[in-house]
Every structure is written in C-alpha cells, then in structure tokens.
A = this chain, B = another copy of it.
C-alpha cells in the first residue's frame, strides 16, 4: 500500500511539473496576445515551443509510463486517484503517438502562422496567410496519421477536442441543424425585422469596460483570482484556479462587441476558477471537455445574457451610463435588438440560430482540407461560396471572411464543432436549472446571479474531468446530448420575439 502511495506521489509530481510548463506556456501566450511588442514574436515562438516540448517529454517519458502502468488497476488508491490515473493513461497513450520533434514543430509553426495571420489581417489579404495555413494543414495530416484513424483523417483530430467525436456522428447532427434551423431562419426572414441600429451609436469605451466588469462581478467572477484585458480576439486562459484571465475587445461604435464577449468569456472563466485546486495538474483538476467548457460560456452569454430577466436588472443601469444613447430605447426594444436574427459574416457576432451555420461551414471546410478534396489555395473561394449558399451573404473581404478566426493559426482543426455541441449542452443545462432552481428568473431579474454560478459550480465545475461530456450531461439532465432542448429553447424564444412584432 505504501509503495502505491509513493508511486502515486511520483505520478502526481510529474503531472504537476508538466502542468507548470503548460501553464507557463499559457502565460506566454496570454502576454503574446495582450501586451507583447511586435519584435518579441520570434523568440516567443521558440520559447512556447520549448515549454510545450518539455511538458510533452515529461508526459511521454518512460518513467511516467511505468508509473501509470504500475498504478492502473492496482489496489491501494482511492476513487479520485483511480480516476486520475485512468485519465492520465488515456492521455499518455494519445500523447505518446506524437514524436517530440513533431510537437515542437507544431508549436513553432503555430506561432509563425499567428504572426502571419496578424499581418494578413492588417493587409486584408488571405494570400499572405495561405502558405502558413498550407504548412499547418500538412502538419495536421501528419498528426492524424500519427494518431491513426479508421474512417476519416478528421476523426483523429476531432477526438483531440471532443473525446470520441467522429464525422459519422457529427454529419447527422449538422444535418438536423440544416433540416430544422433552416426553416426557422427562413420563417424569421419573412417577419418584420427588429431594430438594432442603436447598438451602433457612440459608446465611450471606458464606460463599456467598467460596465462589463460590473456584470462579471455580479456573475461571481473573482477578481482576486483573475483579470480582464484587451486583445484582438477574445479568449479565456487559465494559469491555475487562482489566476484566470479573460481577454476581450471593445468598439466605440458597437455596444455588442464587448458586452456579450465578456459575458461569454466570463462563463468560461467561472468554470476555470471553480476547478478543484487540490487536483492541480491532474485530470480531476481540469475541465471535462471543450464542449462542456463552451456550454458554460454559451449558457451565460445566451440563456442568461440575452434573456429578458437579466436585462430587467441591468438595462436601467446601462441606461444610467449611456442616457443620451439609450433613454429613447425601451427594455423590450433593447431585448429584441440583442436577439435580432439576421445572417451575417462574423461568427462571434452571429445570432444564436445562424451561429451554427458558421460552425457548419468551418466543419465542412476542415473535413475537406483534411481529406485532400480541397486545397488551401482554393480555401477563400470555397469559404465565400459556402457563405453565399448557406447564409445568403458573400464576404466582401478577407478580414470579414476567412481571416476572422484565430483557430487555424494554432492548428486547432476539429475545435469548431465543440462550439455547436456546447450550445446544445447549454440549452439542456439551462432547461434543467429552470426546473431545479425555484424562482430562477425572478432572482435573475433582481440581479442575483450567484446562486446560478453556485449551481453550475456544484453540477459542473468541481467535477473536473470525472465524466465525459455525454455522461456529465446525463448525470445532470437525465439524458445525453439532445438537440431538441436547443430547438425547443430557440423556437420558444424567437416565437415571442418575432410574434410580438417589431417596435
């Protein structure tokens, strides 16, 4: 027994050292996208690469392997320890498939591609980014081969972001979206459109920023254990439950740019702040999956942050900050405005329905890039054609088209589908919260959000990686992923918004 505990401690020590390196890389990544001066890029790229390689080396070392094999299935460990070992062994088997040099090459390519993406956006020219993307896709094909796959190379990459996800599973889901959401979108298009031009009045940036901090505070974001900073593309990153960073953007002539991004990232951040500190660097100290992560951000952003009860509390406060801009707009008008459904170009600014078509486009393109049926140099045309086909709108330039997302720079192919999965989980969790928590909407109307954070903390956050996405969902809601929850939520919401007619 004693030996087992000693081995467990050694396993824990190596895991935590690797976490230190990965969290350090996250600090460098955060700095790169917030404060780093431009000439820092090159060295930063190699530094992040070295940290990733060193972490990878620890987690694929013979010592680590031996410890895991020794501990797996052995007696003398408690339940949490058994779970940690089992999940680490899964991770090990996956990580061991990639040679160290390849991991380093991938990280270095990611950093260089990110730099090229920034330059390409500045020049509004995809071709500046295309060769870097082509190189990245070559690497991702190589990676899929290292992982091996049975049906589609994309499966190997999807599995990295959503354990067990495959093209065979996701194709039908996106087909349902096409079947069910297209008609809904079309029906809405025939209604009188809601007004939202007031979002594009002049809003002082600093006041917007302060307001978003106030919202985060109300959500229960702990500012002693985190910050919000500016970046080109909003993201959340964590260096420990005690240090979780949100980044976001702010635009003077678009109130929507900051507010819902900040709430969205706040949802992610609450998850990270709520992970058990005692399991630092171990699977139980990590989030369940990307889709469950996204369920937290989408639940706060949409189910809460685009709901009437939330704004019953916050809108009068927002009006106080911006009387000249908003005093002529009623709560109902504001509510309808933020929920306007209209196909548009930018994924992160899309309404809750057309959002999933943005994801579908990326899903289909990634699939085609991976199986070789699409060449990177034809990607811009393919992108634009799909936008025209699925959303009826063609990007007038690359910044509003193919250059809008940062993900491909970092080689995150297979990531986008988790956004859609996350939205659907969010709808299910929200439905459950409404059932379980008495007076939910009444409390939200009074600005009391902490109890919802506490519910999510208990149901989701503190669980760490104990359950996979579907299993966690089943534990919380009694059933696995169910597209109907979202469909029901969406139909009900938009029926009210669009039946009442516009202002």
Residues of chain A whose beta carbon lies under 8 Å from any beta carbon of chain B: 16-17, 20-21, 23-25, 27-28, 31, 35-44, 46-47, 49-51, 54, 222-227, 229, 239-240, 242-243, 280
Contacts and interface: CB of A to CB of B under 8 A. Distances in A.
Given A20-B47, A23-B47, A42 B240 contact: yes
Main secondary structure of the interface of A (DSSP, over half): helix
Given A20-B47, A21-B50, A37-B223, 17 more contacts: A20-B50, A20-B51, A24-B24, A24-B25, A24-B47, A27-B28, A31-B31, A37-B226, A37-B227, A39-B224, A39-B225, A40-B225, A42-B242, A43-B239, A43-B243, A44-B243, A47-B239
A225 B27 contact: no
Nearest to A42: B242
Given A20-B51, A21-B54, A23-B47, A242 B39 contact: yes
A243 B240 CA distance: 25
A44 B46 CA distance: 21
A157 B229 CA distance: 40
Nearest to A54: B54
15 contacts: A17-B54, A23-B47, A27-B31, A31-B31, A35-B35, A35-B229, A37-B227, A37-B242, A37-B243, A39-B224, A39-B225, A39-B243, A40-B240, A40-B242, A43-B240
A49 to B, nearest CB: 8
A23 B27 CA distance: 12
Contacts of A223: 37
Q: Which 3 A-B pairs have the closest CB atoms?
A: A40-B243, A43-B240, A39-B242
A239 B28 CA distance: 10
A103 to B, nearest CB: 14
A223 B39 CA distance: 9
A43 B225 CA distance: 11
A239 B46 CA distance: 11
A30 to B, nearest CB: 8
A277 to B, nearest CB: 8
Contact of A39 (B42, B47, B222): B222
A28 B50 CA distance: 15
A240 B35 CA distance: 15
A24 B35 contact: no
A35 B227 CA distance: 8
